[in-house]
Structure 1
C-alpha cells in the first residue's frame, strides 16, 4: 500500500486472538463498496453507494469482534479529527471511516477491539510493508468451517501493476468455505447424480450450422462433511461465525461508480479463490478506494483487482 500513499496500522491482542487494522488514505480519495455475504457487520457502508452524495473517505477499518468491534471506529475517528481530517462542517470536520467487522468472538474470549484499540491502530499506521498473517483484523481468522473444522488463517495481501496503474488488496480471510485445490469439493451428498446438458454446434461443408444436444449423467463421490466429526468439533454451532472482509486500493482516477465496479471485481476474485463463498453464514464485504493519480481504463483496473484478490488468498499457505 506504500506505493499508493496509504498508511496501514494494526492493533493486535495475540492471546485473545482478535484485533483491528486501519488503512489511512490520502485526502481526496474516492471510494465505494459492496456487501454480498448474508451475515454482515458494517458501519458507514451505506454512504459508499454510488447514489450517495459524499464520495470521499479518510480511512477504512477492518476489525474483529463482530458487531461489538465496530466501536473501534470511534477511536479511528477521534485520531483523524485530531489531524483535521474529515468532511468540513460548521461544527468541525467529520471523518468518514467505512468499517467492516468479522466474527472472531470464540477466539477473543470476551476481548473485543474498542475505541482505544482503533486509536492505537492509527498510531501504529505507517507506509512500511504491510504485516500479514495473524495480526490486526486477521488475528482470529479461520476458514473451512463448512467441513466442521476450523483452520487458522489471517490477513493476506497482494499488489499488481500494469504500466503506471497499481492495485493493492488487503484481506482478512475468515471464510466459511476454504481456498486452494479443495475448493472444488462442493457440498454434495456422496453419489448424488448431477445431470449436465450441453449444446454442440456442427458446421456442414456449405457453412450452415446445425445444433445438436447431448446429456450426460455423472455420479459424484466427493469429500463431504462427516456428521459425527462435525458435531464433535462444534461445527453446527459455527454457522454464522465467519466473514471475509477486505479493501482494494488503486492509484487510478475513478469516480464512485468505478470504485463500485472494483468492489464487485474483488468479490469475483473471492469467488474464484474460495468455495463455498457469499453464503448465509458469511458477511463478505469489500471497500474499494481510488487515489486518483493515474488515468486508467476501468476494465483493466477491475481485471487487476480480480487477479489480486485471488492471488492474495492463494498466498495463504505462505502467509500464515
Structure 2
C-alpha cells in the first residue's frame, strides 16, 4: 500500500473544518482504537488541553484524537466538540457507564487574520471529526485550511511585514516504518528549507518584495516581536510500536525539526507543541522512529509555507518572484 498522507496509515483518520472568511479552523487526527500518545512542549506561551495525561507516568495508555486549532485559547472549545462526536460514535476509554474519548489539543493565535471574534467552537470540532471518520478527505487538504487557515510567519518586524503560512503535511518511511507529520505553522521566525538553506517565507523587507534573514530582521529598527501570538503545533503519526516513554522521546527528537526549518524557534512568544500518536503495528528502534519523524516534520513545516496562498492582505511564498 502506498502511503502519501497520514490518512493512508491504517487506523488513522484526519480532516479539517475551515471558516475561510474568518481565517480560522481546526484539524483533527483520530485513532478510533487508540494510539500510544505523547507530547513535547517547548514554546513559552502554549494553549493546550490534556498534555499532563500524556506523561509516561500517568495511567491512561491510549490517545483517541489530537485537535490542532486556531482561535488561541478560545479554540480549545473545538476539542470539546470533537470529544462529544467521538462519544456519539462509541470511541473512547470504556469507563463502565460509557466511554470517555481521550482528546489532546493545542491552538495557534490566528485572531489577527480574518475576524478576531470568530473562533473554532464545539460545532467545528465535531464537524472535523465527522469529516474524518467519513473519510471525506482522501488526502489531507493543505494550505489555508483547518488549523492553518489563519497562520502567518516572520513576525520579528511586526504584523505588517509577515507572510501567510498554513497547514502542511509530509510522510517519511524506512522499510515498513511509516512516520507522517501534520503541522500548523504560525511561527514568529522564518520558514527555511533545511536541505538547501533557502528561505521560503518570513519577514518581508521594507519594500515587501524579498525575505530578510532573521539576523537582518533583528537589526531592523522596526523590529517589534508581537507578544505571545506565535506557535507551531504538530502531530506526528507513526505505525511504530512504542511505549509512552518511547513516544515521548520521539516527540522530543522531532522537536529538532522546528530548529532545522524555523529560525528562530522556541522563543518566549511561541507556544510550540508536538504530539505523537503511535498505532503499534511495526517494531522499530526508537531512535530510527525519532529520526524518521524529524524528517517528516521538517518537510511538513516547509509544506505549510509552500501550500499557503496570499490572503487577508498578506503575501505567501507563491507570490514572491523566484
* TM-score after normalising by structure 1: 0.83
- 2:13 is the counterpart of 1:3: no
Partner of 1:80: 86
Taking the aligned partners of 2:299 and 2:123, their CA distance within structure 1 comes to: 33
- 2:233 is the counterpart of 1:245: yes
User: Which moves more between the two structures, 300-309 or 173-182?
Assistant: 173-182
The structure-2 alpha-carbon separation of the partners of 1:144 and 1:222, relative to structure 1 and needing over 3 Å to count, comes to closer
Taking the aligned partners of 2:19 and 2:305, their CA distance within structure 1 comes to: 22
Taking the aligned partners of 2:42 and 2:119, their CA distance within structure 1 comes to: 24
The structure-2 alpha-carbon separation of the partners of 1:282 and 1:153, relative to structure 1 and needing over 3 Å to count, comes to same
Partner of 1:201: none
Partner of 1:19: 25
SS in structure 2 of the partner of residue 293 of structure 1: strand
Partner of 2:121: 114
Equivalent residue runs for 1:67-146 within 5 Å: 67-107=73-113, 108-125=115-132, 126=135, 128-146=138-156
Taking the aligned partners of 1:317 and 1:98, their CA distance within structure 2 comes to: 25
Indicate which of 149, 153, 174 corresponds to 1:162: 174
Matched pairs, number: 279
Indicate which of 285, 307, 316 corresponds to 1:297: 285
1:91 CA drift (Å): 2.7
- 2:183 is the counterpart of 1:178: no
Unaligned runs of 5+ in 2: 1-5, 200-213, 309-322
CA contact (8 A) 2:187 2:232 kept: yes
Partner of 1:312: 300
Query: CA deviation digits over 1:262-312, x for unaligned, max 9?
Result: 111221111111111111100000110100011111111111011111122
Give the greater-gyration-radius structure (CA): 1
Taking the aligned partners of 2:198 and 2:66, their CA distance within structure 1 comes to: 32
* TM-score after normalising by structure 2: 0.83
Query: Root-mean-square deviation (CA), in Å?
Result: 1.9
